[in-house]
Chains A and B, each alone.
Chain A
């Protein structure tokens, strides 16, 4: 079982640089989000098709859209993985062959998969698809990783319950690609081992029907032979099982040094603003560290930037060990993000310093707005004037997807995003 340790860094021009950069893997709930994720720096995206993926509430891609997404990603050297990670029932077996073949034909790089039914079917009918073991299998130890390696899987996504020490040990002992979640919402249960939705709402959580019963409020009681005794009082917060969101931005250097192959951002249901923000921050931190690990200094502004799109408090999950009550939310389970997505740049006229922008949320003359994107440094400015498509002066961009123009002194580019602080 001797294993070649991954070659993570080398000395170039007298300076250590990281040569094994992890893949930055982003979620994409639809084609537009896919494009943004790729443009903002994702090396790969994961998407859901119409079937076999969890999140039955998400938009999900048709086969045509998957093809279009793959073609777009290819231009930027990015890969597309498709989630086929349901725990299948008998009725899901017919049609699986054709679906997997179609994914292979569409040029999808791999599938994220939990059920051996789907793994073996993919091997048989669509051998070009890589198989990545989904976190739905709650893989938590190196021997199980070894098992899936021997089964021929290219990659395993670890359980979110694994600590940094455990992750390192798995990586050291087993020569298989390791993917971990670095950012986003987390199941509070072992993934795949929660059927609360099945029991409470007759929706199958392991086939995409999860209704997040864990984040509901419950009364905690003691049942004795005779009585039911409440274990809380009027003033107490009710019992709730709500994990803070995961945020490992400060652990990026340690995770890179550990040789983790892929950093996954959760959130196929998340907004375009969220994806753009999170992907670009991780991109910056990964690139900064890899270019010069010895002189890397973590900037607080990265955390501040992430906070602009978060709708729940964040924490480190299991990375340092078993989480305590501080890693959970008992009140105020979620909040509105501090900033909202206001518009997307369609064009910029450098001569007239005028931007053409598609409105995504209400904003008006006098608002302070912030532009960000992969090719610019963030900057804020006050909207001084505003015109509609016909050139009529207006005081506010009121209509969804309305095309407006206004003066922006610094150059911006197509797909740059504009956000606005919510009062």
Chain B
């Protein structure tokens, strides 16, 4: 009971404006609230949100102290900083942008993350500046943040990122290309379908679905013949999701592949593209299929669309 009263007192005084507090007092206030905000104990969990709100209510003056806490090695404290900065929003951006110049790459990458979550376009140019940072984690976070902010000025950085030497950066670039709807990235994204890193590969597939359908289908018509089997297989999946007539013709062709895996990808994609078999391809594909596992994949796909999956 005494503890509850004490906590209420801390939280209530936390709602006073930052202007009313001297520098030392402000730091002390943030410290005491942060202990509560970042407490992981289940019995104190209902105090986390009010404490975060109280720090956020202090506004921009609290931001430098929060940025300093980005050096923490505690994941819970790191998340708490991010959540508070999200609540402060745009007033936090000037100090965060300033912090992009810090020498500590760990802090810079976390600042990029926060800027992406705040989604203020003031951060776009500064973020572009750090897209060539020597630390790959910074490049990943910066390119990802540009996608979250969804400002087209980040387009070039994203397309360049598709050729980065690190898979995580290529992944971030692939995601951002989709978020920014960069139609000029289609061919490069098709190439990334064969990426060594699955995060980049499957993110590229998801992004292609957000771009100009006809252009994507035209590009993938070539990609299915790629020597990299992953490109062709995932291209089939994307074509199945697109479901245009042209896409289905490409898929029908691939159901005649020598490779049973490719036939399966194409046939399953055809089922996805034409769930009610309006085009009547299904019987033809099934009749000529000899591999029992490919047939099971096709039948499973038919059952799944029948069940609305």
Q: Are the chains A and B members of one assembly? A: no
Show the binding face of B for A, using Cβ within 8 Å: none
